[in-house]
Structure 1
Amino acid sequence: MFVQKAKSKLWIAWILVLPVLIIRGFTVIYPIFETIRISFYDVRLLRGLNQFVGLQNYFKVFTDPKVLETIEFTLIFVISSMTLHILLGVLLALILNMKFKAKKFLRTIVLIPWAMPMVVIGMAAKWGFNNEYGLVNDFIRRFVPNFELSWLIHSDTARAAVIAMDIWKNLPFFAILILAGLQFIPTELYEAAMVDGATKVQAFFKITLPLIVKNIMVLSIPFTMWRLASFDIVYSMTSGGPGSSTELIAYRITTEVFTNLNLGYGATLAVLLFIVMVVFSTTNLYFINKK
């Protein structure tokens, strides 16, 4: 009786939810389909072009040297950053999970970099990596006198600096989330392992790692998405330079759309990025559920 009465009033719930669904559809679904549609056109506002070109924009992506360099650094950035996030994040989480004085205080202050806006960090990093008065070179000179290196002028060092600042900001948050998973591991498992003669290293690989590996895989999805869509660190720190060596795909999309006013090509890059993100997340979720 109660179920039938609830079903009879289900239309009221749909009426109440309908405005939200319409707004979300207009602000999310419509832009996606519009972006896909524009990607098949050559839309250049400076030239007044709005011409259907089919898959020409997609073919151009794989022959454009600037975009290929951008894709190269995006892959390097995502793979390097996520690998170090996982390795260092687990290590930092294990340290924060130890029993020592001021543990709560350390857990609090370790989140300060994550709480800072990335634009502020990028602008500060631009000063910090300066050859003459930067904090980084000043620290190195205390151990290596007369050390000289203009980090953001050379491609390789500029890329390394961008990756380092991304890790410095987001690693604490990743570690805290891993720490939350460590808190749910029963201490009885470690006590039983110690009784059986297991060392701490063996306990980590036989107990800790198997129990948090799913947490790591789940966290890797949003963190990888954020790396793929990173824009602010490059914008505020290097502006894509030197040349286009530190451009990420999201920064290239912004440049094409808002600087070059090349809407069709920018939409094409956005669609390809969207496809990559969907494939990655779907594949990762498949393996998580399978495991």
Structure 2
Amino acid sequence: MNHLDKLENKSIHILREAYSEFKNLGMLWSIGKDSTVLLWLARKAFFGHVPIPLVHVDTHYKIAEMIEYRDRLALKWKLDMIYGENKEALEKKETFPDGNVTRLQCCKRLKTDALTNTLNGKWPRYRLNHDTGKYEVDKNTEAFTGIIVGVRADEEGSRSKERYFSPRDKNNDWDIAEQPPEFWNQYKTDFAPGTHVRIHPLLDWTELDIWEYIQRENIPIVSLYFDQGNGKRYRSLGCWPCTNPVESTSKTVEEIVEELKTGKFANIAERAGRAQDKEDGGGLEELRKNGYM
């Protein structure tokens, strides 16, 4: 097997292991390249069907094209699509774009708090009705005991401290010192009742691996990653007020792969365009300890 085959096989093994071990399992889909590769791997793992609900936290500040892409693919691939939100913070305008909180406070409200309460079922969840193409309040409020996430160890400092099966407490808090060891492809999946587990099938993938796999598999990716004619493209996607594009003329997956191989971004962090990272001094560890993706 070549390098991509080995990564694919390991990720599929993790996905199947998670599905067999956790009763109420969900998978986060941020609509970005990594979580879309994760979605593609899930379709491979389960022979074209994804038997796991897809969960998206909608801050209502995502670039419009991202939401259109999410719903179009969800309908096309018949995905069990759910989204959650922090309705109260949005109504009270407790957001950075409204000028009432800092970027990190906004992230905590619209992402961390929304994610925690979407996963535990305390706040309303909205499920896609494939007959109408509309979202409806989800009657199922059962908490997710495990959630699959498309984070990579090389993407950002705190993510390098994750495990493939990473436990959180019932409040989604993450104790880095209590991470279980994972030697020789042996994974701990038996946790105490009340433990919330994050599963990371892409942990050992790199940015180049992701794009080479997208190229090999011809995976449909949101067009924001490509230069639209202005010499800029997004390298990492987030909320539009806090995410900036990079200087790049790459208009195809093939051109992005070649660009990464040249080392153009070797000394520039992948999330360098995320303004909230800079506000936190370059790291998101404290936010992630409290449940941030």
* Short-chain TM bin: under 0.3
Q: Which of the pair has the greater relative contact order for Cα pairs under 8 Å at 6+ separation?
A: 1
How high is the TM-score relative to the length of structure 2?
0.22
Which structure dedicates a bigger proportion of its chain to strand?
2
Which structure dedicates a bigger proportion of its chain to helix?
1
Higher gyration radius (CA): 1
How high is the TM-score relative to the length of structure 1?
0.22
